[in-house]
A = this chain, B = another copy of it.
Amino acid sequence: MDAEAIKRSLEGSGLRCTPQRYAVIEFLMEHNRHPTAAEIFEAVNRVDPRSSRATTYNNLRDLVQAGLVREVAVEGRAARFDAKGMRHHHFICDRCGNVEDIEWYDVPRPASGSLGQRILRECELIFRGLCTKCATRHASR
């Protein structure tokens, strides 16, 4: 996705395309590493230091609300973020907390009876276990 397309998707969500906001979503689209807010803050300030911590958090919140970015809560660790490109599932490592993409496949929805009056927005499938690096280290001990 090029600069113009990012700009359009921001404005299509009613968000101004500010340098700080653009830097956040551009960074997320270039990396599929699921960085934390702190990592994003550092990364965008390494290039051109002009975004405060509050702005980074504000923009992440706005981008999540606009549906352009996904937040992944990880137990006992800082939240992680990724740009919502192609649909995919997530694998979260028990040991190191890293979040990795897993190829998407369809998930059966619950019977409407078990949902009751609730309004379902999305089903999220999360896999847990040991990532490749931790599994290798685990085996050799």
Interface residues of A, Cβ cutoff 8 Å to B: 71-76, 79, 89, 91, 94, 100, 102-103, 105, 107-108, 110-111, 114-132, 135-136, 138
Q: How far is the CA of A122 from the CA of B124 in the complex (A)?
A: 14
Inter-chain contact A71/B75, CB cutoff 8 Å: yes
Inter-chain contact B103/A118, CB cutoff 8 Å: no
Copies of this chain in its oligomeric complex: 2
List the B residue with the shortest CB-CB distance to A136.
Answer: B117
Other 8 A-B pairs with CB < 8 A, given A94-B121, A121-B128, A126-B126: A76-B79, A102-B115, A103-B114, A107-B125, A118-B127, A118-B130, A118-B131, A125-B126
Q: How far is the CA of A72 from the CA of B116 in the complex (A)?
A: 22
Closest 5 CB pairs of A and B: A73-B73, A121-B129, A117-B132, A103-B114, A73-B75
CB distance from A65 to the nearest CB of B (A): 10
